[in-house]
Every structure is written in C-alpha cells, then in structure tokens.
Amino acid sequence: SLYSFTDNIQSGIEYKYRLGVSAKSGSKCYYDTKSIKYHDNTPFTIYPNPSKGKIFVSMNGYVGPASFTVLNSMGKIVLVKEGASLFSSVELDISKQTAGIYWVKVKTLGGISIQSFIVL
C-alpha cells in the first residue's frame, strides 16, 4: 500500500518519525525510527506569504530571546513584539493594516535580519 504524510517542520530542528502498522487482527509492526533535519540558510521563515495580515515567523532552530518589528513600505513601525523563540512559530497580526509590502526585522543574540512579506 502507499502511505504519505505532510508535517509542518521548521528548519534547523531534528524530527524523529516512526511508522507503526496495525493489522485488522490486532497485531502491530513498528519500523525503525528515522531522523529528518531540514536546513534552510535563512535566519527565519515567514508564512504564509502572501497573507491577509496574520503571519507566522519560524526561527529555523534558533532558541533564545528575540524582538520582532514589522514596518510598512514607508519605514513606519506598525507592530513590535518581544519574546523568546522556543521551537514554535511566533504569530504577528497586522490584519488591520492596508494591503501592501511589509518588512519583518528580527533581532536575536546572533544579530539582525530582515525579510519582506505581502499583505493582500
């Protein structure tokens, strides 16, 4: 038989998967554990892009304090969020802003990175 699964993995984090098969008779069979680690050279990933104003920022394996600043195309700050990255995505909501191109500036202990995204 054919099996497929799609998971929302983040870059830089090792994930372990193990397939288990259950027969109608109740018997079970487990396959060996497999490790998957996706590498992305960007410091963080924004999704969905384009969006309707609510985006998520995945820190691609970074764990620690982080500051998130969203700027509009004129350079005006529309949102600031302080927090820590702990293997989960950070939600940024600018859905009350007008459509256009925006920038996310992320400041961590490793430096500052900037990426753009589009609000429809």
User: 105 pLDDT exceeds 70?
Assistant: yes
Task: Give one DSSP letter per residue of 37-101, joined into a string.
Answer: E---SSS-EEESSSBSSEEEEE-TT-EEEEEEEEE-TTS-EEEEEEEEEESSPEEEE-TTSPSEE
pLDDT (tens digit per residue) in 47-93: 899 999 999 998 887 889 999 999 999 999 999 999 887 777 899 99
Write down the pTM of the prediction.
Answer: 0.69
